[in-house]
């Protein structure tokens, strides 16, 4: 292994860090995702992390699903209008000499496949939970994916300034519903109308909530000994006595923090706060940069790849068309797994078995991008793409690797798509082609009549596609309902045999080709699918195209 030294520019203030070795650069990086049920305050928390990190001067206010100022990470126009995140945002900033990469994911279940793919590119996760609603359905599903991969998880219980559940009841709910072993690293002083602040168990500090000026955080007050009588001077006798009782209970009931258990996914630290009011966020951020993992090894089909290896490798976990609609640019998001990614250096595109080089690899700050010369393991790089990449593709310095765990999804909703403006047929075709590459939906062309069918995982995706076609490509479309139960990719042993010919003739009106030209059977019911499987046992029907 070669230890290299690189100069690293801090894009926030233009200063240059001292020369660092390759291993020191890796140790500086923290790449994590933020997940939650919709409306738990995930995007607001992302904003406030950026605010405390000095990356932005003021945050957008996301309140009651209406955006007063558009949130920095919700850069797509439809996100500003709907007040929800519909695509993963990639943001980077520096804090206390650490390079932090945040992936803010959609919370809505109709966009869950984007979140699931994003979770393959993170080294840890913060789960946001609403103090009033507790653990919700989408949170459970996303946490299950994290648990399957043993991703280290921190819990942030949000909206403490609102009336909600008791802190201990919430901790019990998190343990029972999510299967966590929690350890509180901060604890609230009161809740809702009685909320006075937070005691930081991690740093032994008290931080008081200023009701009159919610956007300004009080200076932290050090309390090495919570039994110090002067505590009452700050929060009153009643609150001070209750806090002492609760902290004593916390230390007796919950295990002390064990970083190794946290990194192994066996223990989950919990922080309390109010992201909208900037409260408890700095405690979370300060602890996060100390305990969260640096870039971790990743499994490939061939072997385990370590970030400290000298040779570059990375994989595509997201594709986004029209990051800047004025320039019609299409970007492939690459998570760097090992080595360094250097501008204008040829790398092997494993699936296509050809070398590509990139003159302007981008680092991200929501919708703002800047060209970077060198990127390190843990970093997310955007590569301008003319159609070479698919989600899950691998780039390496030359070795053939296939990174595992990037999921593909079988559509659950199907509609015919029609051109509503015959003068814009080319724009519609181009728009559909590029949006399908993002993985938000799949396109099927019926063999019988050539009609186009869109298949999505969530019904809300149809609205997003329609909106983006009009506003990014100038094309209008309409939909017609189509009765399809499931799309199954067809794999026949011999495409020329009599049974296969019989199948294609009998089921002709249910057959289509996907974007890659593979044969797909659009079954209209579970019964029909099972009957077809029974009648043609030599034909395999797959739930996704990755077989």
Mark whether 65 and 186 lie in a shared domain.
yes
**Is residue 500 a contact partner of residue 539, using CB atoms and an 8 Å limit?**
yes
Cα–Cα distances (Å) from 89 to 43, 53, 253, 403, in that order, read 10, 17, 38, 22
The last residue of a domain, from among 238, 272, 291: 291
Mark whether 269 and 355 lie in a shared domain.
no
The pLDDT value recorded for residue 45 is: 84
Does residue 193 lie within any of the structural domains?
A: yes
d(CA 477, CA 428): 8
Mark whether 152 and 248 lie in a shared domain.
yes
**Is residue 240 a contact partner of residue 253, using CB atoms and an 8 Å limit?**
no
The pLDDT value recorded for residue 308 is: 93
Mark whether 155 and 267 lie in a shared domain.
yes
Does residue 232 lie within any of the structural domains?
A: yes
The last residue of a domain, from among 291, 326, 346: 291
CATH number at residue 318: 2.40.30.10
CATH number at residue 111: 3.40.50.300
Mark whether 69 and 182 lie in a shared domain.
yes
Residue 120's nearest CA partner among 98, 86, 88 is 88
What the block records as the tokens of 509 is 């009106």
Does residue 205 lie within any of the structural domains?
A: yes
Mark whether 262 and 171 lie in a shared domain.
yes
Question: Which range of residues forms the domain containing residue 58?
Answer: 31-89+104-291
Does residue 337 lie within any of the structural domains?
A: yes
Mark whether 383 and 467 lie in a shared domain.
no
Please list the pLDDT of the chain residue by residue as tens digits (547 residues): 444 444 444 444 333 333 468 899 999 999 988 888 777 777 788 888 877 766 554 444 333 333 333 444 444 454 445 444 444 567 788 888 888 888 876 644 545 566 677 788 889 999 999 888 888 887 888 888 788 778 899 999 998 888 888 889 999 999 999 999 999 998 888 887 778 888 888 877 777 776 555 455 555 676 667 777 877 887 888 888 888 888 888 888 999 999 999 999 899 999 998 888 878 888 888 889 999 999 999 988 899 999 999 999 999 888 877 655 555 567 888 999 999 999 999 999 999 999 999 998 888 764 467 888 899 999 989 888 887 888 888 999 999 998 876 666 678 889 999 998 889 889 898 888 878 877 778 899 999 899 999 988 778 778 888 888 888 888 899 999 999 998 888 887 665 577 888 888 889 889 999 888 889 999 989 899 999 999 988 888 887 766 5
Does residue 454 lie within any of the structural domains?
A: yes
Mark whether 347 and 221 lie in a shared domain.
no
CATH number at residue 498: 3.30.70.3280
Does residue 403 lie within any of the structural domains?
A: no
Mark whether 389 and 305 lie in a shared domain.
yes
Does residue 70 lie within any of the structural domains?
A: yes
Mark whether 196 and 326 lie in a shared domain.
no
- Give how many domains the chain has, as a whole number: 3
Cα–Cα distances (Å) from 409 to 116, 211, 457, 489, 547, in that order, read 10, 46, 7, 12, 12
**Is residue 59 a contact partner of residue 53, using CB atoms and an 8 Å limit?**
no
Does residue 21 lie within any of the structural domains?
A: no
d(CA 544, CA 547): 7
Write down the H helix ranges in 367-459. Answer: 425-437
Mark whether 317 and 243 lie in a shared domain.
no
The last residue of a domain, from among 262, 291, 320: 291
d(CA 155, CA 35): 10
What DSSP letter does each residue of 474-527 carry, written as one string?
S--EEEEE---SEEEEEEES-TTSHHHHHHHHHTGGGEEE-TTS-EEEEESSHH
Mark whether 309 and 243 lie in a shared domain.
no
Q: Which residue has the tokens 């803010």?
A: 104
């Amino acid at each position: 292994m070669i230890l290299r030294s690189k100069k690293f520019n801090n894009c926030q203030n233009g200063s240059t860090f001292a020369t660092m070795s390759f291993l020191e650069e890796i140790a500086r990086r923290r790449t994590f995702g933020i997940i939650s049920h919709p409306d738990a305050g995930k995007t607001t928390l992302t904003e406030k992390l950026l605010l405390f990190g000095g990356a932005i001067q003021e945050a957008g206010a996301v309140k009651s699903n209406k955006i007063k100022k558009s949130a920095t990470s919700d850069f797509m126009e439809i996100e500003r209008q709907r007040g929800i995140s519909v695509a993963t945002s990639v943001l980077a900033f520096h804090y206390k000499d650490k390079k932090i990469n945040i992936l803010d994911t959609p919370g809505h279940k109709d966009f869950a496949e984007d979140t699931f793919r994003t979770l393959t590119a993170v080294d840890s996760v913060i789960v946001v939970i609403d103090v009033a609603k507790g653990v919700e359905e989408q949170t459970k599903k996303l946490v299950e994916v994290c648990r399957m991969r043993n991703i280290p998880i921190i819990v942030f219980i949000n909206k403490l300034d609102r009336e909600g559940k008791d802190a201990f009841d919430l901790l019990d709910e998190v343990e029972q519903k999510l299967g966590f072993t929690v350890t509180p690293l901060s604890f609230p002083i009161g809740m809702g109308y009685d909320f006075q602040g937070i005691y930081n168990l991690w740093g032994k500090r008290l931080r008081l909530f200023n009701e009159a000026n919610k956007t300004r955080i009080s200076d932290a007050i050090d309390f090495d000994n919570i039994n110090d009588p002067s505590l009452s001077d700050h929060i009153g006798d009643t609150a001070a006595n209750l806090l002492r009782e609760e902290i004593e209970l916390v230390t007796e009931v919950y295990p002390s923090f064990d970083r190794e258990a946290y990194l192994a996914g066996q223990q989950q630290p919990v922080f309390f706060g109010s992201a909208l009011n900037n409260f408890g966020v700095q405690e979370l951020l300060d602890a996060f940069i100390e305990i969260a993992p640096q870039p971790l090894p990743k499994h490939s089909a061939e072997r385990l790849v370590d970030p400290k290896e000298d040779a570059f490798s990375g994989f595509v976990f997201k594709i986004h068309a029209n990051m800047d609609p004025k320039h019609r640019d299409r970007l492939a998001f690459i998570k760097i797994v090992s080595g360094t990614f250097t501008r204008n250096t040829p790398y092997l595109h494993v699936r296509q078995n050809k070398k590509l080089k990139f003159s302007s690899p981008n680092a991200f700050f929501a919708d703002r991008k800047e060209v970077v010369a060198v990127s390190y393991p843990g970093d997310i790089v955007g590569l301008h793409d003319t159609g070479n990449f698919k989600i899950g593709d691998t780039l390496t310095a030359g070795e053939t690797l296939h990174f595992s765990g990037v999921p593909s999804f079988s559509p659950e909703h199907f509609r015919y798509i029609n051109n509503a403006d015959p003068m814009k047929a080319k724009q519609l075709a181009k728009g559909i082609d590029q949006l399908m590459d993002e993985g938000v939906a799949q396109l099927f062309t019926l063999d019988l009549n050539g009609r186009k069918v869109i298949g999505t995982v969530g019904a809300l995706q149809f609205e997003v596609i329609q909106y983006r076609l009009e506003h990014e490509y100038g094309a209008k479309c309409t939909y017609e309902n189509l009765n399809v139960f499931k799309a199954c990719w067809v794999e026949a042993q011999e495409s020329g045999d009599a049974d296969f010919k019989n199948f294609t003739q009998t089921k002709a009106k249910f057959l289509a080709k996907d974007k890659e030209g593979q044969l797909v059977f659009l079954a209209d019911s579970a019964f029909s699918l099972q009957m077809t499987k029974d009648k043609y046992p030599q034909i395999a029907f797959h739930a996704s195209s990755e077989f």
